[in-house]
Amino acid sequence: MIYWQLFWLFFRISLIAFGGVFGVLPELQQVVVDQYHWLSADQFVQSYVVGQFVPGPNMSMAALVGYRIAGVGGALSSIFGIYSGPILLLSAATTLYSRYRTFSWVKRTELALRPLVFGLIFASTALFLKQQIGDQWLSGLLLGVPLIWLHWTGNLGAMACIFLAGFVWWGILVLGLPI
Amino acid sequence: MQQPSIRTWLWVNLKIGALSFGSVSRTVLFQDELVAKRSWLSPEDFQESLTIAQVLPGPNLVNLAVCLGFRLFPPAVALAGLVPLVTPGAILAVLVGVWVPLDNPGIRALFAGFAIGAFLLMGKFLWMLGQGMLSQGPATAARPRLKVIGRFLVAALVAFGVSAGVAVLPLIFTAVAVCLLWEFLT
């Protein structure tokens, strides 16, 4: 049954998705495009791009992939599939961590893993900027200086900073504002 | 520390779920809402949750929301927060995928701008994470400087490896092993 297949596919994928969605794209594409021919390669890539565009978790692409394959039911089973495994896993991990966090080796393990977290977040930031802005990064940074100043001085919240950057950049590129 | 409220927790999740354009910055928004604005958690508590969320598999933002939710509230409330967090993105993904022309120059420019804003926030966030790597923890090392240099070296190698397209799974497992050996042997 298609709903069960979608649930199982995304459930399986979610549990090997270390470090974000990038790592599991080839596996997902292999099943969805090559093995079952549910989507064309173009549709798959477009679903990924949409997943990056929309707000919320970056696995929202699962909803679109599921919808294209089996309508609303497909979207729901994909969403349940992608989120249920990590939710169970993280619930257990957090409960255990809270219980044993006073043990020095537990705290040291968490400290030890911080470089991995830093490296992964740094890489995804760099890749994301390259993908979205490419060779216009210098103008982007020029726009960024006043924004980041506003944010650091506490005059602009994090979300407002993102929205303002979006609309100013849109104004520069589309309306040709001489900023 | 302020007293966390359930209604605000759900509202913060809805806000991030519905408005967190700019992809990579989503984690920062939780930091902004719960640590900077509301002082529900200390930066150290946040860093602990972030480490667990990033090291285990799954969508980073959902992982982080589970960790933060469990830390602040009973499990039922923590899990209830996920509904407003994931629903808007899922609905929007379908609507955007079906109706919005993503190759339109205006839409591309808007999202490139969101990316710039997100990137700026990430700079500040990475600075905070860098500070977190300076921490010595409960057992003070005999050679603290050496320990910290080693951590930054591993972080740089992971960042370079992922950017250069090295397979993520083996890279992460190797990094975990190196990090643990470095921590407990130095």
- Identify the closest residue of chain B to A12 by CA–CA distance: B58
pLDDT in tens, A123-153: 877 877 777 777 777 777 777 788 888 888 8
A118 pLDDT more than 80: yes
- How far apart CA A59 and CA A24 sit, in angstroms, is 11
Using the CB atoms, write b or e for A153-163: b if 16+ within 10 Å: eeebbbbebbb
Q: Which residues contact B33 (CB under 8 A, 6 or more apart)?
A: B12, B15, B16
- Mean of pLDDT values over A153-177: 82
- Mean of pLDDT values over B36-64: 91
Q: Which of A61, A64, A165 sits opposite B113 (nearest CB)?
A: A165
Between the ranges A88-92, A146-150, B96-100, where is the mean pLDDT highest? A88-92
Using the CB atoms, write b or e for A78-110: b if 16+ within 10 Å: bbbbbbebbbebbbebbeebeeeeeeeebbbbb
pLDDT in tens, A96-107: 999 998 888 888
pTM of the model: 0.84
- How far apart CA B179 and CA B186 sit, in angstroms, is 11
User: Regarding predicted confidence, which is higher, A141 or A162?
Assistant: A162
Report chain A residues whose CB lies below 8 A from the CB of B117: 144, 147, 161-166
A89 pLDDT more than 60: yes
Between the ranges A157-171, B18-32, B72-86, where is the mean pLDDT highest? B72-86
Report chain B residues whose CB lies below 8 A from the CB of A51: 93
Report chain A residues whose CB lies below 8 A from the CB of B125: 121
The candidate with the shortest Cα–Cα distance to B139, out of A98, A105, A114, is A105
Cβ contact, residue pair B126, A121, below 8 Å: yes
Q: Read out DSSP for A55-102?
A: SS-TTTHHHHHHHHHHHHHHHHHHHHHHHHHHHHHHHHHHHHHHHHTT
Q: Is the CB of A146 inside 8 Å of chain B's CB atoms?
A: no
User: Regarding predicted confidence, which is higher, A6 or A155?
Assistant: A6
Tell me how far apart the terminal alpha carbons of chain A are, to the nearest angstrom: 56
Distance from CA of A67 to the nearest CA of B (A): 7
User: Regarding predicted confidence, which is higher, A149 or B2?
Assistant: A149
pLDDT category of residue B106 using cuts at 50, 70 and 90: confident
Cβ contact, residue pair B179, A63, below 8 Å: no
- How much is the pLDDT for B129? 85
pLDDT in tens, B41-53: 999 899 999 999 9
- How much is the pLDDT for B119? 77
Length, in residues, of chain A: 179
Provide the mean pLDDT of chain B.
87
